[in-house]
Amino acid sequence: MKTLTTLFALVFALICISASADDAGAVVGMLKTNEHIIVITAGPEGPLYTVKSTVGTVLAEQLSGTQLALQFPRLEDLVNTGMADGAGLNERHLAPKASKLID
């Protein structure tokens, strides 16, 4: 779980970096669900999203965050939170709690 969290943090850090004209269109991340593949690319004014089916059929291309939210609200939640809908934290995947030191 810690590795997955680190991976999402890295992907979103890359998205937040302003893209120069030379970097426009560079793929900075990809997320896959059971039904969709989301390719995140650097755009001149922020990240752009291409949504594909799992077999590779392009469903929408070069969407802004607002457009993604309107057309694919559940995927927009995944992109923003890094959590799939209904994927609550299972205690067995959490790090053990630190024990208190006894003086």
Domain annotation covers residue 94: no
The edge-to-edge listing of strands for the beta sheet with 36-43 is 27-32, 36-43, 46-53, 58-63
Mean of all residue pLDDT scores within the chain? 74
Q: Take residue 3 and report the two structure tokens written for it.
A: 């590795």
Q: Is the residue at 101 inside a domain? A: no
With cut-offs at 50, 70 and 90, classify the pLDDT of residue 23: low
Q: Is the pLDDT of residue 50 over 80?
A: yes
Please state the rounded mean pLDDT for residues 73-93: 66
Whether residue 49 lies inside any domain: the answer is yes
Number of domains the chain contains: 1
pLDDT tens, 66-76?
Answer: 999 999 988 88
Print the domain residue range for 59.
2-82
Residue 102 inside a domain? The answer is no
87 is a domain residue: no
Do the domain assignments include residue 62?
yes
Instruction: Give 46-99 as a DSSP string.
Output: EEEEEEEETT--EEEEEE-HHHHHHH-HHHHHHHHHS--TT-PPPGGGSPPPPP
Spatial CB neighbours of 89, under 8 Å, sequence gap ≥ 6: none
pLDDT tens digits, one per residue of 9-21: 556 655 555 444 4
